[in-house]
Chains A and B, each alone.
Chain A
Amino acid sequence: MSMIKSLMGASLVALMTAGVNAEDIAITGGTAFTDGGSGKVENATVLIHDGKIQSVTSGGDVPAGYRAVDASGKWVTVGFMVSGSNLGLQDVPLSGNLNDARASDHKNGMGLEVKYAFNPASTLIPITRIEGVTRAVTGFSASKDMWRGQSAVVALAGEDMIVADHVALSIDMDESAARSNGGSRAALWDSVITTLEGARPNGDDDKDDDDKKDKKPKYDSGKIALERVMTGEVPLLVEVERKADILNVIELKKRFGINVVITAGAEAWMVADELAAAGIPVVMDPSRNLPEDFDTLGNTSAAAGRLHAAGVKVAFMAPDTHNSRLVVQNAGIAVAMGMPWEAAVDAISKNPAEIFGVASSYGTMEAGKDADVVVWNGDPLELMTSADAVFIRGEQVALESRQTKLRDRYKDLTRSPAYNK
Chain B
Amino acid sequence: MKKAMTRPAWLRSGLAITAMGLALAACQPGEEQGEFVEINKDPFPSSYTPLASKPTLITNVTILDGKGGRIDGGSILMEGGDIKAVGQNLEAPEGAEVIDGTGRWVTPGIIDTHSHLGVYPSPGVRSHSDGNEVGEPVTADAWVEHSNWPQDPGYIRAAAGGITALQLLPGSANLVGGRSVTLKNVPGRVAQDMKFPGAPYGMKMACGENPKRVYGEGKNSPEFRPHTRMGNVAGYRAAWAEAQDYQRAWDKYERDYKAGKDVLPPKRDLNLETLAGVLNGEILVHMHCYRADDMGTMLDVMKEFNYKISSFHHAVESYKIADKLAEDGVCSSMWADWWGFKMEAYDGIRENIPFVHKAGACAIVHSDSDSGIQRLNQEAAKALADGRRVGVDISKAEAWQWLSLNPAKSLGIDDKTGTLEVGKDADVVLWSGDPFSVYTKADMTFVDGAVTFDRHDPSRQPVMDFELGQPGEGDVK
- The residue of chain A having its C-beta at the shortest distance from the C-beta of B152 within the complex is A290
Q: Give B405-443 interface residues, CB cut-off 8 Å to A.
A: 436-441
C-alpha spacing A296/B406, complex, angstroms: 35
C-alpha spacing A94/B340, complex, angstroms: 9
Check: A332 CB closer than 8 A to any chain B CB: yes
With known contacts A291-B123, A383-B378, A410-B355, A322–B340 Cβ distance under 8 A: yes
C-alpha spacing A214/B215, complex, angstroms: 58
Contact A403 B339 (CB under 8 A): yes
Q: Give B291-330 interface residues, CB cut-off 8 Å to A.
A: 319-323
Check: B385 CB closer than 8 A to any chain A CB: yes
Contact B467 A291 (CB under 8 A): yes
Check: B83 CB closer than 8 A to any chain A CB: no
Check: B390 CB closer than 8 A to any chain A CB: yes
Question: What residues on B are CB-neighbors of A297 within 8 Å?
Answer: 123, 467, 470-472
- The residue of chain A having its C-beta at the shortest distance from the C-beta of B476 within the complex is A302
Contact B123 A336 (CB under 8 A): no
With known contacts A293-B125, A336-B439, A323–B472 Cβ distance under 8 A: no
Check: B350 CB closer than 8 A to any chain A CB: yes
How many chain-B residues does the 8 Å CB contact rule pick out?
Answer: 55
A368 CB, min distance to chain B CBs, angstroms: 33
C-alpha spacing A95/B210, complex, angstroms: 10
Contact B346 A267 (CB under 8 A): no
Contact A290 B476 (CB under 8 A): no
Check: A222 CB closer than 8 A to any chain B CB: no
C-alpha spacing A181/B457, complex, angstroms: 44
Q: Give A261-305 interface residues, CB cut-off 8 Å to B.
A: 267, 270, 287-294, 296-302
Taking a contact as CB atoms closer than 8 A, the residue among A299, A322, A384 that contacts B341 in the complex is A322
C-alpha spacing A289/B159, complex, angstroms: 13
C-alpha spacing A373/B157, complex, angstroms: 36
Annotate B427-466 by CB proximity to A: 1 below 8 A, 0 otherwise: 0000000001111110000000000000000000000001
Check: A201 CB closer than 8 A to any chain B CB: no
Question: What residues on A are CB-neighbors of B385 within 8 Å?
Answer: 383-386
A341 CB, min distance to chain B CBs, angstroms: 9
With known contacts A297-B470, A300-B476, A329–B343 Cβ distance under 8 A: no
- The residue of chain A having its C-beta at the shortest distance from the C-beta of B391 within the complex is A411
Contact B348 A407 (CB under 8 A): no
Taking a contact as CB atoms closer than 8 A, the residue among B123, B348, B355 that contacts A293 in the complex is B123
List 17 A-B residue pairs with CB atoms under 8 Å apart, sorted by A's residue number: A94-B209, A243-B471, A289-B374, A290-B371, A291-B123, A291-B153, A322-B339, A323-B338, A325-B337, A335-B438, A383-B385, A384-B388, A406-B347, A406-B349, A407-B390, A413-B323, A417-B320
Check: A333 CB closer than 8 A to any chain B CB: yes
Question: What residues on B are CB-neighbors of A301 within 8 Å?
Answer: 476-477
- The residue of chain A having its C-beta at the shortest distance from the C-beta of B358 within the complex is A411
Annotate B352-371 by CB proximity to A: 1 below 8 A, 0 otherwise: 00010001000000000011
Contact B389 A386 (CB under 8 A): yes
Contact B340 A410 (CB under 8 A): no
Question: What residues on B are CB-neighbors of A96 within 8 Å?
Answer: 342-343, 346
Contact A92 B472 (CB under 8 A): no
B8 CB, min distance to chain A CBs, angstroms: 24
Contact A124 B340 (CB under 8 A): yes
C-alpha spacing A403/B349, complex, angstroms: 5
With A329-B378, A336-B438 given, can you name 20 additional A-B contacts, CB distance below 8 Å? A3-B389, A96-B346, A292-B123, A292-B124, A293-B125, A298-B475, A300-B477, A302-B476, A322-B338, A322-B340, A323-B338, A329-B382, A333-B375, A335-B439, A338-B476, A382-B438, A383-B436, A386-B385, A386-B389, A407-B319
Which 10 pairs from chain A and chain B are nearest by CB? A332-B438, A384-B385, A383-B381, A94-B342, A298-B471, A322-B340, A298-B472, A297-B471, A302-B476, A290-B122
C-alpha spacing A3/B371, complex, angstroms: 32
Check: A311 CB closer than 8 A to any chain B CB: no
Check: B248 CB closer than 8 A to any chain A CB: no
Check: B154 CB closer than 8 A to any chain A CB: yes
Question: What residues on B are CB-neighbors of A410 within 8 Å?
Answer: 319-320, 349, 355
Check: B110 CB closer than 8 A to any chain A CB: no
Check: A10 CB closer than 8 A to any chain B CB: no
Check: A60 CB closer than 8 A to any chain B CB: no
Contact B437 A383 (CB under 8 A): yes
Check: B79 CB closer than 8 A to any chain A CB: no
C-alpha spacing A93/B319, complex, angstroms: 24
C-alpha spacing A300/B477, complex, angstroms: 5
Contact A291 B389 (CB under 8 A): no
With known contacts A92-B346, A323-B337, A407-B350, A332–B467 Cβ distance under 8 A: no
C-alpha spacing A297/B382, complex, angstroms: 30
Question: What residues on A are CB-neighbors of B475 within 8 Å?
Answer: 298, 300, 302
Check: B193 CB closer than 8 A to any chain A CB: no
Check: A319 CB closer than 8 A to any chain B CB: yes
Contact A411 B355 (CB under 8 A): yes
Check: A381 CB closer than 8 A to any chain B CB: yes
Q: Give A317-372 interface residues, CB cut-off 8 Å to B.
A: 319-320, 322-323, 325-326, 329, 332-333, 335-338
In this complex, the member of A298, A302, A332, A336 whose beta carbon has the largest number of chain B beta carbons within 10 angstroms is A336
Contact A291 B470 (CB under 8 A): yes
- The residue of chain B having its C-beta at the shortest distance from the C-beta of A328 within the complex is B438
B36 CB, min distance to chain A CBs, angstroms: 50
With known contacts A291-B470, A297-B472, A93–B342 Cβ distance under 8 A: yes
A305 CB, min distance to chain B CBs, angstroms: 10
Q: Give A69-93 interface residues, CB cut-off 8 Å to B.
A: 91-93
Check: B267 CB closer than 8 A to any chain A CB: no
Contact B341 A94 (CB under 8 A): yes
Contact B359 A413 (CB under 8 A): yes
Question: What residues on B are CB-neighbors of A291 within 8 Å?
Answer: 122-123, 153, 466-467, 470, 472
Question: What residues on A are CB-neighbors of B374 within 8 Å?
Answer: 289
Annotate B97-138 by CB proximity to A: 1 below 8 A, 0 otherwise: 000000000000000000000000011110000000000000
C-alpha spacing A296/B148, complex, angstroms: 22
C-alpha spacing A93/B378, complex, angstroms: 26
Contact A294 B123 (CB under 8 A): yes
Contact A332 B439 (CB under 8 A): yes
Question: What residues on A are CB-neighbors of B470 within 8 Å?
Answer: 291, 297
- The residue of chain A having its C-beta at the shortest distance from the C-beta of B473 within the complex is A297
C-alpha spacing A174/B193, complex, angstroms: 37
C-alpha spacing A289/B440, complex, angstroms: 17
B307 CB, min distance to chain A CBs, angstroms: 26
- The residue of chain B having its C-beta at the shortest distance from the C-beta of A242 within the complex is B471
Contact B157 A289 (CB under 8 A): yes
Contact B472 A299 (CB under 8 A): yes
Check: B264 CB closer than 8 A to any chain A CB: no
- The residue of chain A having its C-beta at the shortest distance from the C-beta of B128 within the complex is A293
Taking a contact as CB atoms closer than 8 A, the residue among B154, B323, B341 that contacts A290 in the complex is B154
